[in-house]
């Protein structure tokens, strides 16, 4: 027993208190902001029946599903009947099929929850990680796309991640682009994958990749010229607009831009080569990047073909996903200097066994007055030094100390743990003193 | 695909929005109150390595563990290497072994999270359900036991469950009771199981069960006389105190009663036949019952032998568990008349395509002013009736309506959805009007 590995399973994490507090605080802001926008929370079980998940994520995705062994007499078969949630979209599709008539139409929901994927663990890649999805189910109106983007942008702003850019494109505009530049049909997807890397590899990099992927030189030359022009968006737009599908897509983009308008903390712009998982999306798509952080922190789009998967009919839907694990990392880095996670206001020490009941009373009195109050609950020696080290560990701001002497005198010693200053105050003055010291 | 079962897996639940809001609200109160008492949150992965869990819950418990199939080339072996969390105590023991020196001593933590057990599903019995544990690890002082009970009682009070009774006993007092009444050693556990049912089956029921379990008639007669006496606790206490172990146990009970003192919203009392999972506990034990609700809503005690399971040494620990699923049910029943879950303050309608951008702007304006504001994001016809039905579904309080006419006039129609009253106000007066109407 003593030799057991005490680490969490590979690819998973234990969250110690400061981390839980940091994560919960971000989740609370996200929940609050989505509620402010009229989105409702949904939650579903950690596992689904295997047949609900299997076949929904492609061959590669299927390999990454954590499967749960059948139980009891069936365990010996080595078969699985359940599997851990792989994303939040399939559960939403199941919920839409199951409770359709009980839900408002459209159904504006968000879902913050862990998902599990048996990926090879690596830096920043986990087997258990949170997703945060926001979707509008049952509306074909671009108002739904705009409302989603507005809510996502508001969340990012309220999380303190201002300075982001919301990049918008539309699936038909991409089809128009392919047509306008004379990309052969069979190479369309391949070309879009290469173009999507423009921000990362630059024009020359894209040109090299397009060549490698076998695009006709004429198409590459025109593309490279436009991608390299000062007004990239304008140059590409002009050609895309010349095709019927391109014009349709640009109309979607312009409508969404118009509906979203200005967002606090960020900019919104047309991004002509933004592709985002082409096979999946059917209308507008978006991506939120943070220039200073060089990271995609949210993305989404319209996907009218997915949510109806269990209903045998199409259900229009649009949504987005916050890269919540990445966002949490960014927030952690941002507050790393200040540490950020506050401990209790007060630690009440227990100086002797006779004074323990008095200390518990005192702690409760301080809580009733609104102070977060820890009480030293350790056994063994009650040396003050040990209790102050505990207070330091807990990042408490004030230690309230009351030994036999103070009890007899009706006083309390109050130690400011930042400055080290200690003063003695009368019992009756304690709350006022703490209110002043803690600047309440 | 269309024929797939859209229900959640057997024994699990989907939480629709009102339910999520209700649960999150209770969890927030619990988190807030534990923080107020200086307890810190911990979180651990949903699954553990199988060897960490196996053998910890007895033969019956082992059967109920959800095991996860090995992946990739190993899947065909039909073997499991991981398993879903079965409780929150084993993960705490693993965390204590892994991060010991990084944690404060004592470590006061709470953990609210789902656990999974492959029990046969039934009324109120689920395969996925939340546990809420609070523990103090690393202290042998009864101050830790009292601090735990105080925090648990405060949580119950703040959840609105006042009127509870905290019943306290101690393992050595039970040993003393067995000795004092002349129960043969081999029948001790059996007798305690029968005695623990006193509240449910009454004195006669206990007597019948003790007879059935083979207790000597003399022991039963004395027990029944004391259990039937007006001052049950006093009668039993007197006999228990006559044994060495009993006296030790009563000293623990009295010390905890003294330290806990009065708790708001409830009473605290010695309960001489309270047993609670005897094999597990080593010191004081407690149970919180709600007379009006006829339910045990929290329980716990000292268990000095468990947390050290991965360290090869004993680590003193005491804690409690809130029956959080039961509590959530009670809260739901309590608020069933009022429905309780509030919708958005305002629904902004979208009357026509031309006015959509204006409506999104207006909604954002109201959010900035502090109103939770939903926006009708549906497509198809924009009939007002449909949008008002949506507002009703969402339990919105006010509908803000602005068609072409209102836009031209610089006004807004405001409909109170409870009274049905509709008034037209100028744009500039809207915020003040809503503030008045919503009583902000």
Structural domain contains residue B274 = yes
Q: Which residue among B68, B309, B372 places its CB closest to the CB of A66? A: B68
- Residues B171 and B199 both lie in one domain: yes
CATH number of the domain at A217, please. 3.30.930.10
Residue-level pLDDT at B1: 46
Q: At what angle do helices B217-227 and B198-212 cross, to 10 degrees?
A: 170
The tally of CA atoms less than 13 A away on the side-chain side of residue A190 is 14
Residue in chain A nearest B83 by alpha carbon? A68
> Helix (H, G, I), strand (E, B), or coil: what is residue A80?
strand
- Residues B197 and B286 both lie in one domain: yes
Chain B closest CA to A394's CA: distance in Å?
7
Q: Which residues pair with B115 in a beta bridge?
A: B129
Say which DSSP state A78 is in.
T
Which residues of chain B lie closer than 8 angstroms to A393, CB-CB? Answer: 104
Say which DSSP state A103 is in.
S
Tell me how many domains chain A contains. Answer: 2
Cα(B282)–Cα(A94) distance, integer angstroms: 47
Residue-level pLDDT at A338: 53
Residue in chain A nearest B342 by alpha carbon? A35
Cα(B133)–Cα(B152) distance, integer angstroms: 10
Chain B closest CA to A1's CA: distance in Å?
6
Answer yes or no: do A367 and B37 touch at CB < 8 A.
Answer: yes
Residue A76: count of CB within 10 angstroms of its CB: 10
Structural domain contains residue B135 = yes
Whether B293 contacts B323, CB under 8 Å: no
Residue in chain B nearest A40 by alpha carbon? B17
Residue-level pLDDT at B337: 54
Answer yes or no: do A344 and B98 touch at CB < 8 A.
Answer: no
Structural domain contains residue B5 = no
- Residues A323 and A373 both lie in one domain: no
Residue-level pLDDT at A339: 53
Helices (H) and strands (E) in chain A, counts: 16, 16
Say which DSSP state A144 is in.
H
**Residue A21 forms contact with B (CB below 8 Å):** yes
Cα(B407)–Cα(A256) distance, integer angstroms: 21
Answer yes or no: do A14 and B44 touch at CB < 8 A.
Answer: yes
Cα(A334)–Cα(A36) distance, integer angstroms: 25
Whether B138 contacts A345, CB under 8 Å: no
Residue-level pLDDT at B312: 85
Chain A closest CA to B191's CA: distance in Å?
32
SS3 per residue for chain B: CCCCCCCCCCCCCCECHHHHHHHHHHHHHHHHHHHHCCCEECECCCEEEHHHHCCCCHHHHHHCCCEEECCHHHHHHCCEEEEECCCCHHHHHHHHHHHHHHCCCCEEEEEEEEEECCCCCECCECCEEEEEEEEEECCCCHHHHHHHHHHHHHHHHHCCCCCEEEEEEEHHHHHHHHHHCCCCHHHHHHHHHHHCCHHHHHHHHHHHHHHHCCCCHHHHHHHHHHHCCCCHHHHHHHHHCCCHHHHHHHHHHHHHHHHHCCECCEEEEECCCCCCCCCCCCCEEEEEEEHHHCEEEEEEEECCCCHHHHCCCCCCEEEEEECHHHHHHHHHHHCCCCCCCCCCCEEECCCCHHHHHHHHHHHHHHHHCCCCEEECCCCCCCCHHHHHHHHHHCCCCEEEECCHHHHHHCEEEEEECCCCCEEEEEHHHHHHHHHHHCCC
Which residues of chain B lie closer than 8 angstroms to A51, CB-CB? Answer: 4
Distances, alpha carbon B247 to alpha carbons B192, B239, B257, B270, B278, in Å: 18, 10, 15, 14, 18
CATH number of the domain at A390, please. 3.40.50.800
Count CB pairs under 8 A between chains A and B. Answer: 323
Q: Which residue among B77, B109, B374 places its CB closest to the CB of A78? A: B77
Alpha-helix runs per DSSP H in A267-383: 324-334, 356-368
Answer yes or no: do A47 and B36 touch at CB < 8 A.
Answer: no
Q: Which of B312, B334, B356 is the last residue before a domain boundary?
A: B334
Answer yes or no: do A139 and B68 touch at CB < 8 A.
Answer: no
The answer to whether the bond into A406 is cis (omega within 30° of 0) is no
Q: Which of B274, B299, B334 is the last residue before a domain boundary?
A: B334
For chain B, give the number of residues. 440
Instruction: Provide DSSP, A217-283.
Output: HHHHHHHHHHHTSTTHHHHHHHHHTTSHHHHHHHHHHHHHHHHH--BTTEEEEE-TT---STTT--S
- Residues B147 and B294 both lie in one domain: yes
Mutate to test the interface with A, among B104, B157, B305, B361 (most CBs of A within 10 A): B104
Answer yes or no: do A98 and B372 touch at CB < 8 A.
Answer: no
Residue B254, domain extent: 17-46+85-334
Q: Which residue among A4, A109, A350 places its CB closest to the CB of B310? A: A4
Mutate to test the interface with A, among B48, B378, B380, B402 (most CBs of A within 10 A): B378
Whether B320 contacts B299, CB under 8 Å: yes
Residue in chain A nearest B73 by alpha carbon? A63
Structural domain contains residue B356 = yes
Alpha-helix runs per DSSP H in A9-106: 17-36, 50-53, 58-63, 89-99
Say if strands A295-302 and A317-322 run parallel, antiparallel, or are unpaired.
antiparallel
Answer yes or no: do A2 and B377 touch at CB < 8 A.
Answer: no
pLDDT tens series, chain A, 440 aa: 446 899 999 999 999 999 999 999 999 999 999 999 999 999 999 999 999 999 999 888 999 999 999 999 999 999 999 999 999 999 999 999 999 889 999 999 999 999 999 999 888 789 999 999 999 999 999 999 999 999 999 999 999 999 999 999 999 999 999 999 999 989 998 999 899 888 889 999 999 999 999 999 999 999 999 999 999 999 999 999 999 999 999 999 999 999 999 999 999 999 999 987 767 899 999 999 987 677 899 999 999 988 998 988 899 999 999 999 999 988 888 776 555 568 999 999 999 999 999 999 999 999 999 999 999 999 989 999 999 999 999 999 999 999 999 999 999 999 999 999 999 999 999 999 999 999 87
The ipTM estimated for the assembled molecules is: 0.93
Chain A closest CA to B203's CA: distance in Å?
36
Structural domain contains residue B252 = yes
pLDDT in tens, A336-387: 655 556 899 999 999 999 999 999 999 999 999 999 999 999 998 999 999 9
- Residues B223 and B109 both lie in one domain: yes
Q: Which residues contact B359 (CB under 8 A, 6 or more apart)?
A: A143, B348, B349, B350, B351, B375, B376, B402
CA angle A40, A42, A43 (to 5 degrees): 160
**Residue B75 forms contact with A (CB below 8 Å):** yes
**Residue B133 forms contact with A (CB below 8 Å):** no
Whether B282 contacts B305, CB under 8 Å: yes
Whether B154 contacts B37, CB under 8 Å: yes
Mutate to test the interface with A, among B5, B7, B9 (most CBs of A within 10 A): B9
- Residues B394 and B311 both lie in one domain: no
Residue A122: count of CB within 10 angstroms of its CB: 8
Residue in chain B nearest A75 by alpha carbon? B78
Q: Which residue among B12, B41, B310 places its CB closest to the CB of A20? A: B41
Answer yes or no: do A36 and B373 touch at CB < 8 A.
Answer: yes
Which positions 351-370 of B are in contact with A (Cβ < 8 Å)? 356-357, 359-361, 363-364, 367
- Residues A115 and A27 both lie in one domain: yes
Structural domain contains residue A75 = no
Q: Which of B295, B312, B334 is the last residue before a domain boundary?
A: B334
**Residue A69 forms contact with B (CB below 8 Å):** yes
Distances, alpha carbon B302 to alpha carbons B179, B223, B240, B295, in Å: 22, 26, 20, 22
- Residues B219 and B290 both lie in one domain: yes
Residue in chain A nearest B76 by alpha carbon? A78
Answer yes or no: do B143 and A377 touch at CB < 8 A.
Answer: yes
- Residues A273 and A422 both lie in one domain: no
Cα(A156)–Cα(A30) distance, integer angstroms: 8
Say which DSSP state A427 is in.
G
Which residues of chain A lie closer than 8 angstroms to B379, CB-CB? Answer: 106, 139-141, 143-144, 316
- Residues B287 and B427 both lie in one domain: no
For chain A, give the number of residues. 440
Cα(B81)–Cα(B253) distance, integer angstroms: 43
**Residue B342 forms contact with A (CB below 8 Å):** no
Say which DSSP state A4 is in.
S
Cα(B293)–Cα(B163) distance, integer angstroms: 10
Ramachandran category for residue B7: left, alpha or beta (phi over 0 → left; psi -120 to 50 → alpha): beta
- In degrees rounded to 5, what are phi and psi of residue A284? -60, 145
Which residues of chain B lie closer than 8 angstroms to A319, CB-CB? Answer: none
Which residues of chain B lie closer than 8 angstroms to A136, CB-CB? Answer: 377
- Residues B174 and B39 both lie in one domain: yes
Residue in chain B nearest A369 by alpha carbon? B36
Cα(B31)–Cα(B33) distance, integer angstroms: 6
Residue-level pLDDT at A330: 86
Q: Which helix (H) or strand (E) holds A173?
A: helix A171-180
Chain A closest CA to B46's CA: distance in Å?
8
pTM of the model: 0.93
Answer yes or no: do A42 and B150 touch at CB < 8 A.
Answer: no
Which positions 300-329 of A are in contact with B (Cβ < 8 Å)? 309-312, 316
Q: Which residues contact A311 (CB under 8 A, 6 or more apart)?
A: A96, A97, A100, B2
Residue in chain B nearest A342 by alpha carbon? B35
pLDDT tens series, chain B, 440 aa: 446 899 999 999 999 999 999 999 999 999 999 999 999 999 999 999 999 999 999 888 999 999 999 999 999 999 999 999 999 999 999 999 999 889 999 999 999 999 999 999 888 789 999 999 999 999 999 999 999 999 999 999 999 999 999 999 999 999 999 999 999 989 998 899 899 888 889 999 999 999 999 999 999 999 999 999 999 999 999 999 999 999 999 999 999 999 999 999 999 999 999 987 667 799 999 999 987 677 899 999 999 988 998 988 899 999 999 999 999 988 888 776 555 568 999 999 999 999 999 999 999 999 999 999 999 999 989 999 999 999 999 999 999 999 999 999 999 999 999 999 999 999 999 999 999 999 87
Which positions 380-419 of B are in contact with A (Cβ < 8 Å)? 380, 390, 393-394
Q: Which residues pair with A111 in a beta bridge?
A: A133
Q: Which helix (H) or strand (E) holds A203?
A: helix A198-212
Whether B10 contacts B122, CB under 8 Å: no
Task: Take residue A384 and report the two structure tokens written for it.
Answer: 């003050």
The tally of CA atoms less than 13 A away on the side-chain side of residue B395 is 12
Cα(B371)–Cα(B435) distance, integer angstroms: 9
Q: Which residues contact B58 (CB under 8 A, 6 or more apart)?
A: none
The answer to whether the bond into A106 is cis (omega within 30° of 0) is yes
Structural domain contains residue A274 = yes
Which positions 226-285 of A are in contact with B (Cβ < 8 Å)? 258-261
- Residues B149 and B100 both lie in one domain: yes
Mutate to test the interface with A, among B45, B52, B59, B302 (most CBs of A within 10 A): B45
Say which DSSP state A321 is in.
E
Mutate to test the interface with A, among B2, B3, B6 (most CBs of A within 10 A): B6
Answer yes or no: do A136 and B390 touch at CB < 8 A.
Answer: no
Task: Take residue B317 and report the two structure tokens written for it.
Answer: 């620990």
Answer yes or no: do A47 and B12 touch at CB < 8 A.
Answer: yes
**Residue A27 forms contact with B (CB below 8 Å):** no
Structural domain contains residue B59 = no
């Amino acid at each position: 027993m003593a030799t057991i590995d005490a680490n969490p399973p590979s690819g998973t994490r234990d969250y110690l208190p400061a981390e839980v507090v940091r994560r919960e605080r971000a989740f609370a802001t996200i929940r609050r902001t989505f509620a402010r926008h009229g989105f409702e929370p949904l939650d579903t079980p950690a596992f689904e029946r295997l047949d609900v998940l299997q076949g929904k994520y492609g061959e590669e995705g299927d390999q990454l599903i954590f499967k749960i062994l059948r139980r009891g007499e069936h365990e010996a078969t080595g078969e699985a009947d359940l599997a851990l949630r792989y994303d939040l979209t399939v559960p939403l599709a199941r919920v839409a099929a199951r409770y359709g008539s009980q839900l408002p139409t459209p159904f504006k929901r968000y879902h913050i929850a862990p998902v599990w994927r048996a990926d090879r663990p690596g830096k920043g890649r986990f087997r258990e990680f949170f997703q945060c999805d926001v979707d509008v189910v049952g509306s074909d109106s671009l108002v739904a796309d705009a409302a989603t983007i507005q809510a996502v942008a508001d969340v990012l702003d309220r999380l303190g991640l201002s300075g982001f850019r919301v990049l918008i494109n539309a699936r038909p505009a991409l089809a128009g682009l392919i047509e306008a530049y004379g990309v052969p049909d069979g190479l369309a997807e391949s070309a879009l994958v290469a173009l999507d890397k423009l921000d990362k590899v630059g024009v020359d990099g894209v040109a090299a990749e397009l060549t490698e992927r076998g695009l006709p030189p004429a198409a590459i030359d025109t593309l490279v010229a436009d991608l390299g022009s000062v007004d990239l968006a304008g140059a590409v737009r002009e050609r895309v607009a010349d095709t019927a599908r391109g014009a349709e897509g640009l109309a979607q983009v312009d409508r969404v831009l118009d509906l979203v308008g200005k967002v606090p903390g960020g900019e919104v712009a047309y991004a002509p080569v933004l592709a985002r998982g082409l096979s999946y999306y059917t209308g507008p798509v978006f991506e939120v990047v943070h220039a200073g952080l060089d990271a995609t922190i949210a993305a989404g789009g319209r996907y009218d073909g997915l949510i109806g998967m269990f209903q045998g009919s199409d259900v229009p839907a649009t949504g987005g996903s916050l890269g919540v694990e990445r966002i949490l990392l960014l927030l952690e880095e941002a507050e790393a200097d200040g540490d950020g996670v506050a401990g209790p206001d007060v630690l009440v020490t227990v100086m002797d066994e006779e004074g323990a009941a008095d200390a518990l009373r005192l702690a409760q009195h301080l809580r009733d007055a609104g102070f977060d109050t820890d009480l030293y609950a350790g056994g063994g020696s009650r040396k003050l030094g040990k209790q102050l080290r505990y207070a330091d560990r807990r990042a408490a701001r004030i230690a309230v100390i009351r030994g036999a002497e103070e009890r007899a005198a009706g006083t309390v010693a109050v130690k400011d743990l930042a400055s080290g200053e200690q003063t003695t105050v009368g019992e009756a003055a304690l709350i006022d003193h703490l209110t002043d010291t803690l600047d309440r």
